[in-house]
C-alpha cells in the first residue's frame, strides 16, 4: 500500500536525479562554509552536485512520458526500435540526420541513415529516455535546441542534427 498518489510518484521518478543533484549541491555548500580542508572538499562536492543537477534536469526534460507504442533499445552505438507495426536499427556512427516530427501523434524521432528506410521512434515509446545519451554522442548536437523543440513540438518536421557534409533538400536546420 502506497501513501503517494501515482501522479506524484511519476513526478518524483521523473525528477529524482535532479533532487539527488540538489542534495549533493546543498551538502557541498554546507561543507564549503567550514574551514580548512572541508572548505576545499565542500567546493568540489558542490561543483559535482551542480553538474549532476544540470544533467538530471536535461534528462528529465527529455522524458516525454510512457506508454507509447514500441520499445527502444540502445546497445553499443546502435539504436533499435521494436514497434507494433514496424521497427529497425540504426548505427549512430552512420546516422545522417535526426529529425523531430511534431506533426505525428505522438511526436516521433526520425533517424535517417544512407541506403536504409528512415526509422520512426515515438518520443514516448518504452525506453525512449535512453535516446538522450545516444543523441548526446552526436558531434555538434545542440542539446538546448533539442529540448526546446521537445517542450513545444513543431507543426512540421524539424532537423535537430545533421552530419557534417550531408544535405537533404527537403529538410533544413531551423
Torsion angle defined by CA atoms of residues 118, 129, 144 and 91, in that order, rounded to the nearest 10 degrees:
-40
Domain ranges of the chain: 6-62, 68-162
Out of 3.40.630, 2.30.29, 3.30.70, 3.40.50, the CATH code matching 68-162 is 2.30.29
Q: Which residues of 153-169 are buried (b: 16+ CB within 10 A; e: fewer)?
A: beeebbbbbbbeeeeee
| CA–CA gap between residue 58 and residue 169 (Å, rounded) | 31
pLDDT tens sequence across 45-99: 999 999 999 888 877 777 766 677 889 899 988 999 998 888 898 999 999 999 9
3-state helix, strand, coil split of the chain in percent (to 5) is 45, 25, 35
DSSP annotation string for 121-138: EETTEETGGGHHHHHHTS
Segment 112-160, tens digit of pLDDT: 998 889 999 998 888 888 888 898 889 998 988 888 888 887 788 989 9
What are the beta bridge partners of residue 88? 81
Q: pTM of the prediction?
A: 0.68
Amino acid at each position: 500500500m502506497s501513501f503517494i498518489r501515482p501522479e506524484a510518484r511519476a513526478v518524483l521518478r521523473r525528477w529524482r536525479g535532479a533532487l539527488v543533484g540538489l542534495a549533493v549541491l546543498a551538502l557541498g555548500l554546507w561543507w564549503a562554509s567550514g574551514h580548512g580542508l572541508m572548505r576545499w572538499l565542500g567546493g568540489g562536492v558542490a561543483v559535482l552536485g551542480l553538474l549532476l543537477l544540470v544533467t538530471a534536469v536535461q534528462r528529465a526534460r527529455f522524458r516525454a512520458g510512457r506508454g507509447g507504442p514500441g520499445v527502444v533499445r540502445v546497445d553499443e552505438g546502435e539504436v533499435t526500435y521494436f514497434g507494433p507495426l514496424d521497427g529497425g536499427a540504426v548505427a549512430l556512427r552512420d546516422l545522417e540526420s535526426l529529425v523531430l516530427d511534431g506533426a505525428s501523434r505522438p511526436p516521433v524521432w526520425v533517424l535517417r541513415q544512407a541506403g536504409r528506410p528512415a526509422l520512426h521512434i515515438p518520443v514516448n515509446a518504452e525506453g525512449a529516455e535512453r535516446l538522450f545519451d545516444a543523441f548526446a554522442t552526436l558531434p555538434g548536437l545542440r542539446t538546448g535546441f533539442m529540448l526546446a523543440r521537445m517542450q513545444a513540438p513543431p507543426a512540421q518536421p524539424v532537423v535537430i542534427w545533421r552530419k557534417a557534409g550531408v544535405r537533404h533538400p527537403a529538410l533544413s536546420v531551423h
